[in-house]
Amino acid sequence: MDKFWDEKMSRVNDEFLFGASTGYLGRNYVRPDGISEGHCYVVMDARKLKSGERLVKLRDPRGRVGEGTWKGPWSDGSKEWTSQALEELGHTLGSDSVFWMSYEDFTKRFTHLDCMRRFCGLDWRCCQRWIAVDVPWMEEYYKKFQFKLTKKSPLCLVLSQLDRRYYAGLWGQYSFDLDFRLHKEDSPDAEDCVARPHGHYAARRSVSVELPELSAGNYVVHLNVTCERDVNACSVEEVVEHECRNRVENKKFAQVGHSYDLAHGKARSYMDERIKLRQEKAERAERAEMKMRLTEGEAKVSEAVDEADSESKGEAFNGAETKSGADKDVPDSIEDSRDSESTKAGTAGAVSISPGSPHLTPKSVESVDGAARNEQEVRPIDGATPALFEEQEPLPVRARPAYNSADESSDSPVEECEIVHTANGRVSKSHDNLYKQAPIQDDDETEEEGVPGPWNAVCVVGIRVYSKDSSLELHTMMEGDEFIERHEACHQT
């Protein structure tokens, strides 16, 4: 507690602003010592008397006389006050909702202390960026920011969400909690983190960590976004549809919608750069795939050409061997007999060939030496030659029903003679066929009712890095440790 007094409490209103409260989960009643639970008090001053007593000055913002005012030691009218203490502190006794209490009683009576850092020095610099994060279903830490510190400096790192108070009613179904770890670039393990914020269930909009001194180097911020979904709440699209259903001008809703667009537009530059980077990455992948396909196609073509050349060479070689062997085996007498037979066949007149004729049976050819006879029997063809196409029986012809004009009226409505095109391409004029068909069900109707839509949680996160290094560089990162953009124009706070 002494360290906290020396480093922060004694610098109230100079470097820090404090708000104190107690009974956050209590019944919000006034305790016997006068402190109201569930109510915030403003810390106005912290002084140390010459006697060594440390005192804290507080004020009740409600300003109610006699309610919520400290009634213990160093309260107005208590015995601890002396003329020297009044003169030293410049305090005036009275019921003006301002009171003093000892530092020991302050730490015992108040359980929550909100601290806000003031960057009043001219040497403080700030870098900030806004990004949009696709929150996954499973909780995980992933790299989103990296900054380079060129010299040793105190540092304050803040991660925050959008302020939902400016677009109340358009919150949607998702609520987010932020957390992060600060690592050195070469130490990504969880146990090697330099610092991490102390989470608080009451402060969900931002988380921060302050380091009195940080050495120069490259640092990476591992971000973790936890999301909860309320399926019973209305989505942004449903709210807009409900409000615009009657097409009535609603200035208040238009103002809230404009605030919603402005808030989410903070990450527009990041999203544009992200889309551009993804398109370039997709184009590079497409070019690489096309190049690979061309290489594979050229390899297949060359392989096919080589295979065709080898096959043609093999066929040419086999043909040459077959021809040389035939010239050696066939005698001249057979060739002469074949020539004589062809001559006889050419000089003969028109010969009528009937089924079973002996002309269809080829004669055996005798070899020169008469050693062997090769005979081939041909079976006679019995009956007539089969037809190429079988005759089909004609389809029965149905008689067309007689049309009686007296049964119908020319004044019948158009719907009775509508042409209905069925699925099989036929045309029907009867409405009974249309009614007998199974009704076509829409895909949306078959889905189960009450099932929530797909997970689509997007959180807009902003980072602010306060330091005394004017050359600090802040990078936003994408999946794969790629830099999207760099922000180094740190402005003075």
Asked if residue 73 lies in contact with residue 80, where contact means CB atoms within 8 angstroms, the answer is: yes
Choice among 39, 112, 264, 487 that is catalytic: 39
CA distances (Å), origin 354, targets 140, 344, 382: 93, 20, 10
**Residue 39 a catalytic site member:** yes
R_g over Cα of the chain: 49
For residue 376, how many other CB atoms are within 10 A of its CB? 8
Q: Which residue has the tokens 């109201």?
A: 36
Dist CA 205 CA 110 (whole Å): 23
- Strand, coil or helix: 130: strand
- Strand, coil or helix: 317: helix
Q: Which residue has the tokens 């070469």?
A: 186
Dist CA 222 CA 181 (whole Å): 5
Asked if residue 174 lies in contact with residue 485, where contact means CB atoms within 8 angstroms, the answer is: no
- Strand, coil or helix: 24: coil
Type of residue found at 156: C
Dist CA 183 CA 245 (whole Å): 50
Residue 386 is classified by DSSP as P
So which residues are the catalytic ones? 39
